[in-house]
Each structure stands twice: as structure tokens, then as C-alpha cells.
Chains A and B, each alone.
Chain A
């Protein structure tokens, strides 16, 4: 038995959300399901007419994907990259937000200045920094005699990795800072005043009042940095192209190369799905625990 109220609800839903739902189904859900289906075939993207006739190969694409040592290494590298970018971005962004809400002179100017890198696209950013690492750093290193900057950072695997982390942090710090600033501003001033009257110092106010009330901001920023770092491609491509000798080939780039450069479409698709599940799981767990830590006043 369908109640009239439910039918009315359904009608309202179709009127207001019918078209978006249809669009979402056709451009996101259906291609996704189709993509999952392709991972079980030997699809190669060329013989379009035979798309549905591609041979069914079971789980062999997944077996090949997981047994590929380059894929596993690339995944590990990505985890390392995500860890460092997440930690540094959030630490620095929080620190900047703390300073820029404390009422120092010209704080609006600084807010804009730190946010600007986020407005530049990853590709352009990559090329700018490539120039800085390849030409500007060695020049400065020689003039001022700093051994760290003698050689281009992009020439050795270790330094190229840190170059990637540096640029990513530089790019996202401004954005995350904005979210933290919003968090800081929304903390009720009366609470802080009351705490001051009760004799709480700066440190106590930060740990006991500000941090707990900022958890919603952390939920958002950590989610964003996690997800963006896992999926990074443009910066990776423009800055290092995975080099030197594939040492900075992060997992998105690995998947792209597998599918389109080495032309093993189905295996690439399987790897992409593994990446998707991993990122979805990690971010879901993160959001679940962050939500739990949120407090209500």
C-alpha cells in the first residue's frame, strides 16, 4: 500500500530533482557501472563495435594489477606523499589562520596573498615551479653558497619527491587556511571572554576551547587534502612527469599511463577501481571518526 503522502512526496521529488537525478545517473552512475564491467573483460578501447563482445576474463585484470610491482610501489609512494602533504598543509594552514585572526596589521592582505596560489591551475603551477627548481634554485645556491640548492631538486628521486610535496603544500595552504579562518571566526567570543575571566591562558584557550570547536573545520580540510593528494595528476605531470626515472610516478599517473600510454585499457581500469575503493574507504573512515569527535555547544 502506497500512502497518498508518499506519492505526493515522490511527485515533488521528481519535479524538483528529477532532471538532476537523471543527469547524475547517466553521466556518473551508468559510466561507473560500465567501467566496473570493463575491468572483467579484455576491452582495448578501439574496436568500439565489439565493445560488448570483448572477451570475459574474470579477475585476471585484478591479478595482473596487484602483481605489478610498479603499481604497488606507486601506491606506496602515493601514501607517503599523501601523509606528508596532509600533515604539512594542515599544520601550516592552521598556524597561518591562527595568526591572521589574531588581529595583526594587514591581515586581509595576507589572507589574499596566501590564497592566491590556489587560483593558479596545476599545470601552470608545475611549469612555474619547474623553472624555479631547475634554474632559480641552483642560481641562488651558488650565489649564496647553500649546498641544498646547488643542484636542481628535480634531478634526484629524493628531492623530486620533496619538490612535489613542497609545491602541493604551497598550493593548498591558502585554501585550507580560509576554511580554518572561517572556523576561528565562528567561535563565540563570549566563551573565550569567559575563559579569560576564569584565568585561562592562551594555550589553555587553544587546547580546551578553540580546538574542540574547530573539529568541523578539520573534518573538511583533512578530507579535502586527503582526497586531492590521492588524486593528484596535473601537478605531477607538469612538475616531474613522473621522473627522474619514474621515481615520482604517483598512482593516478601510473593508472593513466597504463591505460593510455601502454595501451592496456582493462588493466588500467582495474587499477583505477582499486584506487577508487582505497580512497573511498580511507576518506569514509576519516569522516566517520572526525564526525564523532565533533562537539556541540
Chain B
């Protein structure tokens, strides 16, 4: 009996000592957190955090994922409200203005000078860089080269440079029994990505695009007389004729689109490079994909017919209100590790499959869609990826686009709904 008592006492004592030691260790380590709002890379980020800890053993990085379907804004504002803000917050560009009061000014960071042209435009306020550009993404009409070549032989995407040429190709594919395209009826895809092509092809000068949007708000624009807008919708009308979902245009999901493209049941899908992990999962054997622009007319060199929208979509801000100086320092170390450390670059590009917005990072992700975007970037064939629109823009115009896609409303009514939306925006 006595032995038992002694034993248990030893056990308790050793526990206490052990806990104390643990406490001592923790005191030396700086603990920082990263809020990840990019669901498809959450698992890979955990690995990257481990890589980082190998190079910096005194910093531990914890990843906090945002649930599927939860808005990043909601998660981050809740964390702020509970006094528990993450050290690093990965958010969408248009959320930066709301949080920038809490973020550290990063203007004097070394990486500022190495960022690619334009990458910092949307996150610079009063000449202060308030966030770190984390990913470049782009979208367009993805083609499955393997599937196309299986039915029509050699296919050179460069020969397709107008809407009519694309339609001729669609016809040929259809005759050979391959469904040409799937237009996934997703409000975010149609509203935030497809329709905005109409805005950004107005001019190659970003200031004129801003002016166009200002004019939309002021109700000065008659969309029905706008050439690019009409051209864009003509292209959608053409797509509708060859759509896999023609019979029931609103009965599609995101996963279904990736599956149809990857299995070669359709030749084209309107989507961006973020879909790659999904496409690869469905069919890991095919790596022959690329982007075609969304044509806005039949003039080969028309602005928008050679370009695809590419831009910085996710950025990282460092909190300075609820994290200690040491934590902020560690967070800056992490960002520098991504940009300048070999292991960091490797983790960023290869493990997370990200196109980085930095000139000095020479690696390219081993993914055909990213490579295609890279090619467009190197040739300077990019459109602005509009990420600064109001948060209710895509749900509202996306719903209108769905109605148009399903032939519930006419083009006149669509233009009216879009104009009405913009007039309500303050």
C-alpha cells in the first residue's frame, strides 16, 4: 500500500516537472498563426509550416483553416472581435481596406522592390503597402488538348483567335461526337469572372476601367450600346449552343465541370487555374491543358481576344493590434522565407502550386494551367483581374447571369438588372 502511495507521488511530481520544462521550452519559442482562406491548399500548408520550422526552429507556425462555405471576412472579423486575431491573415484583396487599420505597414520590406509590376496596386493605400501578395491566379477557357486531339488530330490553340474560329472548332468537335464545352452555372464564376471581362476589356488603361465603373455607378453607361459587353454576351450565346448542359443549363456544379473536362467528356471549360488540384485528382494521367481567351469579337487583335485576366487574388496581412512585437517579427521572417529562402520558394511554388508575384522567384509550378498563365504573363497578354468590386457585386449580377444563361431573361433585361445594381451602389 505504501509503495503505491510513493509511486503515485513520484508520478505526480514527474508530471509537474515535465509540464514546467514544457513551459520553459514554449517561452523560448515564438508562436504565430496563419489564417488560411484557400481551402484547396490547407493540407499542403501544414507541410510548409513544418518546412519553415526546420529552418527556424524557434518559431512555430500554426495554420488555422476557414471552413468550407464560410466567408473569410466572417472568420477574420470574428477572430478580431474575440481578441484572437491571427498573426498572418490570408484574405481576398477586396477585404484589405476593411482590415488595413489593424495591419502592419509593410512598405519597407525587402520584397516590395521584387514584386512583379502591378502586384501591389490594389493593396497600396496612401503609398503604404498594407499586405503581402500571395498568389497570382488567372482564368479563361480551359481546353483539354488530349481530348481534342483524340477526335480531330493535331490541335494548335494559337490558330483560334476569334469567336468564329472557335465556333468552327466547336462544330467540328460536335460532328465527331465530342461535346465542345461545359458552362458551369455558378454565380461566382459567371458574376465575378465572366461578366467582369466585359468591364476590363473596355481599355488597356486601368484608370479608364475605374472610370468605366464610376460611370456605371453614375448611371451614365448604356450597356446595350457597349461593343465589348455585347461581344462578350455574343460569345456566351455561342457557348450556350454547344453547352453540355444545354437542356438544363442550371443543373451543373463546380465538381461536375472539372470531372467532365478531366475525363475528356467535354473539350472546354470556363474556369481558372485554382481548379487544377481537382482536375488532376480526377485524371492524373493527362497534363495537356491550357487557356484560350474569352473572345469578345471577331477581330483577331481586339483588346481581350489575345489576353486572359490574371492578377493577385489572395494577400497576407500581418496583424499589429493583437500580436506581440516578437510575433510580428516572426511573421515578417516567414514572408521573407517564402520569397528569398530556397526551401521557402520550393515550398511556396511546388508544394502549394502557387504562381508567385515575385520576379526573383524563378520556379514555376509543375501544373499545366499555371504554365499557361505564365506564358500569357511573359508575353504581356494579360487583362486586369478585377478584385476590388463591392462584395455584393458577384452574388447579384451572378444571379442575373444565371437567368440569362437559362434564357429566363433577355439581354435587355440582363443589362437593366446590371445597371440597376450599379445604381444602388453607394
A residues near B (Cβ < 8 Å) are 44-49, 51, 130, 134, 138, 151-152, 154-156, 237, 243-246, 257, 259-263
Question: Among A46, A151, A154, A257, which residue has its beta carbon within 8 angstroms of that of B395?
Answer: A257
Question: Among B98, B250, B406, which residue has its beta carbon within 8 angstroms of that of A46?
Answer: B98
Q: Which residues of B contact A246 (CB under 8 A)?
A: 395, 399
Contact B402 A245 (CB under 8 A): yes
Q: Chain A CB within 10 Å — which of B73, B98, B321, B403 has the most?
A: B73
**In the complex, A221→B250 CA distance in Å?**
36
Contact A151 B247 (CB under 8 A): yes
Residue of A nearest to B102 (CB): A46
Residue of A nearest to B402 (CB): A245
Contact B83 A156 (CB under 8 A): no
Nearest 6 Cβ contacts at the A-B interface: A152-B251, A260-B74, A245-B399, A155-B251, A262-B392, A151-B248
**In the complex, A51→B98 CA distance in Å?**
14
Smallest distance from the beta carbon of A69 to chain B beta carbons, Å?
11
Contact A244 B253 (CB under 8 A): no
Contact B402 A244 (CB under 8 A): yes
Q: Does B80 contact A (CB under 8 A)?
A: yes
Q: Does B284 contact A (CB under 8 A)?
A: no
B residues near A (Cβ < 8 Å) are 69, 71, 73-74, 77-78, 80-81, 83, 98-99, 101-102, 185, 187, 247-251, 253, 256, 321, 390-392, 395, 399-400, 402-403, 406, 408
Contact A134 B400 (CB under 8 A): no
Contact B253 A134 (CB under 8 A): yes
Contact A46 B402 (CB under 8 A): no
**In the complex, A51→B101 CA distance in Å?**
14
Residue pairs across A and B with CB atoms within 8 Å: the count is 72
Contact A151 B251 (CB under 8 A): yes
**In the complex, A242→B176 CA distance in Å?**
38
Question: Among A45, A244, A260, which residue has its beta carbon within 8 angstroms of that of B81?
Answer: A45
Q: Which residues of B contact A261 (CB under 8 A)?
A: 71, 73, 391-392, 395
Smallest distance from the beta carbon of A46 to chain B beta carbons, Å?
5
Task: Using known A-B contacts A46-B77, A245-B400, A245-B402, determine if residue A262 contacts B391 with beta carbons closer than 8 Å.
Answer: yes
Contact A263 B251 (CB under 8 A): no
Contact B248 A152 (CB under 8 A): yes
Q: Which residues of A contact B390 (CB under 8 A)?
A: 262
Please name 13 further chain A to chain B contacts, defined as beta carbons within 8 Å, in addition to the given A138-B251, A151-B248, A243-B402, sorted by A numbering.
Answer: A45-B80, A46-B80, A138-B248, A152-B248, A154-B251, A244-B250, A245-B402, A246-B395, A260-B73, A260-B74, A261-B73, A262-B392, A263-B98
**In the complex, A112→B178 CA distance in Å?**
47
Contact A48 B83 (CB under 8 A): yes
Residue of B nearest to A133 (CB): B251
20 contacts between A and B (CB under 8 A): A46-B77, A46-B102, A48-B80, A48-B81, A49-B321, A130-B253, A138-B251, A151-B248, A152-B250, A152-B251, A154-B251, A155-B251, A155-B406, A156-B250, A243-B187, A244-B185, A260-B71, A261-B391, A263-B73, A263-B98
Q: Chain A CB within 10 Å — which of B81, B83, B251 has the most?
A: B251
Contact A155 B248 (CB under 8 A): yes
Q: Which residues of A contact B400 (CB under 8 A)?
A: 245
**In the complex, A151→B406 CA distance in Å?**
13
Residue of A nearest to B249 (CB): A155
Smallest distance from the beta carbon of B416 to chain A beta carbons, Å?
15
Q: Which residues of B contact A244 (CB under 8 A)?
A: 185, 250, 402, 406
Contact A46 B392 (CB under 8 A): no
**In the complex, A156→B403 CA distance in Å?**
10
**In the complex, A26→B113 CA distance in Å?**
50
**In the complex, A130→B255 CA distance in Å?**
12
Q: Which residues of A contact B81 (CB under 8 A)?
A: 45, 48, 51
